[in-house]
Structure 1
Amino acid sequence: MTAWRTARSVAAILVAAATVAHAADDPLRICLDENRPPLSVHHRGKPDSGFDALLAQAIAERLGRPLAIQWFESKLDEDSSPQLEANALLSDGRCALVGGYALTQDSLVVPGMKTARLPDFAGATREDRRRRVALGVLAPSQPYVYSPMTVVLGPKAAGRKIGDIGDLAGLRLAIESGSLGDAILMRFDKGHLIDGITHLVPGRSDLLGALERGEYDATLIDLGRFDAYRAAHPDTAITTTGYYYPIGANRGYVALASAPALVDAVNKALTGLAAEGKIAEFGKQAGLTYLPPREPAILGDVWKQIIQR
């Protein structure tokens, strides 16, 4: 009997060891947007790059697993939903984590619909583009970067001091329809800026290029988007003002709520990397104006806060 128990114990240990070894060999699959510089960039024939790509590699190393990035394409238009796209990718098993996710209350609520289509992703088939995926519930990691909105000025307005949105009065403003910046500018001081605003169609208009050409004087966009433009146009005449709109969102990872152990492991890795200054270093390498996460970790009702300002 003793020999049998010993043999069974040895067998259990071997099975456990094999399971751990298998987990270590199992790639950590992280979904990243293929065209969101300087956060993440993937172009055929060129090395993958970006802040989130560097961070993903570091997270995988901390977890002792190889990294497998599932690249996907998120459309910049009024009909796109980053929340549903991320949920569909996770729920379909395309990845275990989605990086660069804006941590807001409305982006983490239980989806109002049961299914959604997948965004276009590397390796997608015609059938993948047609089918709908049953959605799950999302769970966030701790944040790892703060993503504010900033005022960007064209050449004719260079040097203009901006300490508040009201300082944009009298300038020719351009904004993409349906964007957060659109809501902020249109609602400011009960429509005080409306007469100076021109709306552009997302994905069809070159907002920063128009600003560069002097067609408009200013806009309000995500700071990372300006970083990307500056990297592609090092001699640009458009500038930021150092002003950040006070309502901004942290970014982090998001997983399915059914994977709490993975989220815990990722949080531990993020804590270690932040303490060592590695996350800020990745931002510098990628050309990102890195700002550490701010409280609250998860932004509340964005629209309510905009209306109340």
Structure 2
Amino acid sequence: MSAWISAWTLSSLFSVFATVAIAADAPPLKVCLDEDRPPLSAHRRGKPDAGFDVTLAQAIADKLGRPLKIQWFETKLDEEASPQLEANALLSDGRCSLVGGYALTKDTLVVPGMKTARMPDFDGATREDRRRRIELGVLVPSQPYVYSPMTVVLGPKARDRKINEIGDLAGLRLVIESGSLGDAILMTFDKGRLIDSITHLVPGRDDLLGALNRGDFDATLLDLGRFDAHRTAHPDTAISASGYYYPIGANRGYVGLASDPALIEAVNKALGELAAEGKIAEFGKQAGLTYLPPREPAILGDVWKLIIQR
């Protein structure tokens, strides 16, 4: 019996060693993440990489038996930026096989209207990389792993205001970034009823949340994750969450290229297992994210049409 047990133990050990060896030889799972989108992802010089998407990407790589390699990139907050084209260019150039934290909407997943695009600035980019135009592929999404709604955030003078719908913002001094989704929602609400109360700031130049924190304005409408990031960086902030979520929101997931369907299938399997284990919600909590599970529809339809119709 002891001999049989010894043989079984050796066999098991050899199996484990073989699995480890295979994993060590496996190509890395290359995931592109935004370097400045806490609490989803953050890459700071001299500090460990952190964020919900970092932890989730590592868990998926572990499920697939592959080492993880993160390609950090920078998204500029301006009206000319195109996250869809930038993600496609990174994938099509082979900088990564997946882009994480991608908003799953119909318009961000359409076949691009142009054949080439430039990549965003990324970690390790050369001058030539910044000039090159990349031939684009076709994007395909994974299943979603987090719901990302718009939320009303209140300044210190309006912190006790009850917000159950956009109409409850009437009478408040509103501030919004030009060209943003929040801008479209507020400007078109009830045939423009709030227009005279809205001040527009320039994205990437003006400090929206800073102005709200100072009490210059009473309320804004922005992505929930952005408020989470501000609250994490400024625990003593004077602005507060209203608890209201605009009913039109987008799920976030991974996006890859249609030329590698096997990877998306494997990632979906891993996401399903992690969700069933309660790990994804746990990762969100650890990162300081107000985690909301994905909602139907998995891919949001025409956002602007939905807003106008409300």
Aligned to 2:291, the other structure's residue is in SS state coil
Aligned to 1:244: 245
Shift of 1:287: 0.3
Shift of 1:22: 8.2
Decide whether the 8 Å contact of 2:23 with 2:67 is kept in 1.
Answer: no
- Give the ranges of 4+ consecutive aligned residues of structure 1 lying more than 6 Å apart after TM superposition: none
Change (3 A) 1:168 1:213: same
Task: Show CA shifts across 1:146-169 (max 9, x none).
Answer: 000000000000110001001001
Aligned to 2:177: 176
Aligned to 1:88: 89
CA distance in 2, matches of 1:157, 1:128: 47
Aligned to 2:5: none
Aligned to 1:280, the other structure's residue is in SS state helix
Aligned to 2:293: 292
Decide whether the 8 Å contact of 2:24 with 2:67 is kept in 1.
Answer: no
Where structure 1 has 5 or more consecutive residues not aligned to the other structure, the ranges are: 1-16
Where structure 2 has 5 or more consecutive residues not aligned to the other structure, the ranges are: 1-17
Decide whether the 8 Å contact of 2:151 with 2:224 is kept in 1.
Answer: yes
CA distance in 2, matches of 1:299, 1:93: 27
Aligned to 1:44: 45
Decide whether the 8 Å contact of 1:24 with 1:64 is kept in 2.
Answer: no
CA distance in 2, matches of 1:89, 1:22: 25
Confirm or deny that 1:280 pairs with 2:281. yes
Shift of 1:45: 1.1
CA distance in 2, matches of 1:228, 1:158: 19
Aligned to 1:113: 114
CA distance in 1, matches of 2:120, 2:221: 27
Matched to 2:303, the amino acid is V
Aligned to 1:73: 74
Shift of 1:44: 1.3
Shift of 1:21: 4.0
Shift of 1:236: 1.1
Task: Show CA shifts across 1:241-275 (max 9, x none).
Answer: 11000000000000000110000000000000000
CA distance in 2, matches of 1:43, 1:161: 37
Decide whether the 8 Å contact of 1:33 with 1:41 is kept in 2.
Answer: yes
Aligned to 2:309: 308
CA distance in 1, matches of 2:177, 2:23: 47
CA distance in 2, matches of 1:239, 1:163: 15
Task: Show CA shifts across 1:116-136 (max 9, x none).
Answer: 000000000000000100000
Aligned to 2:105: 104
CA distance in 2, matches of 1:163, 1:44: 41
CA distance in 2, matches of 1:168, 1:23: 55
CA distance in 1, matches of 2:208, 2:43: 22
Matched to 1:104, the amino acid is T
Q: Give the alignment of 1:121-200 within 5 angstroms.
A: 121-200=122-201
CA distance in 2, matches of 1:254, 1:113: 19
Matched to 2:227, the amino acid is F
CA distance in 1, matches of 2:161, 2:22: 59
Bigger drift between 21-30 and 180-189 goes to: 21-30
Q: TM-score, normalised by structure 2?
A: 0.92
Shift of 1:56: 0.3
CA distance in 2, matches of 1:177, 1:128: 30
Matched to 1:255, the amino acid is G
Aligned to 1:55: 56
CA distance in 2, matches of 1:129, 1:298: 31
Aligned to 1:257: 258
Decide whether the 8 Å contact of 1:153 with 1:238 is kept in 2.
Answer: yes
Matched to 2:255, the amino acid is V
- Size of the aligned set, in residue pairs, is 291
Aligned to 1:13: none
